[in-house]
Structure 1
């Protein structure tokens, strides 16, 4: 085997290794584990606020954001103990409703052009959820919706 062949094999192995590491970095996740839900979110993001359910307000609110993003570009995940889809939908603003399926989750969505926020309302295992995000984060929001596990 010539030295050119050996170099070509080494180069192919290095390119493959870099591709695998890059893919793993893009798909690496952390898990939020709360009282009403768990979900996966990107490793490069962090929980900025968490309000666990209380005696009066029976919902759990989690706000996550990219670590390097300025305040304002957020993604909020809310899980409700005793609210229906209609209860949550009555308090959402924007154009809609539209129906979308994210993975195997049927969602009612609204888009508010003035704030550039998209809202997803859905149920899993009898629990109602509201996910609200900046329109630039719809891909992350949809991955979170797919990964939510109600408690």
Structure 2
């Protein structure tokens, strides 16, 4: 479920018509060879979670945005767009449902060559659902 979630999250971020064109790369595994600005998952972890009669996972994801600029405005605008996009991800996904999206923390770091790195950490609570391509059992009279 963690892998499917990571792929769905990256696809959701890539599909944003405003955010996508502003980034050189949006990757599930980073950092990318592409020059900044870029966004990538740099770490994730999953643990058991669920509700009565429904299995699930609690997934923590760390995303890193890298921007090359000596002015923080570009990084701030991109960070806000990323946070908004994550907050609006549809709960119903193929094979799971997002029950809780929780922002945990962010950290900004200056790196050599005017790179600003912003780390976002989120926690998602997911419940398993049947995949949309799962065969449905036959009903009715077999004759």
Give the alignment's TM-score, normalised by structure 1. Answer: 0.33
Structure number, greater radius of gyration: 1
The structure with the largest helix share of the pair is 1
TM-score by length of structure 2 reads 0.35
Larger RCO of the pair (alpha carbons < 8 Å, separation 6+): 2
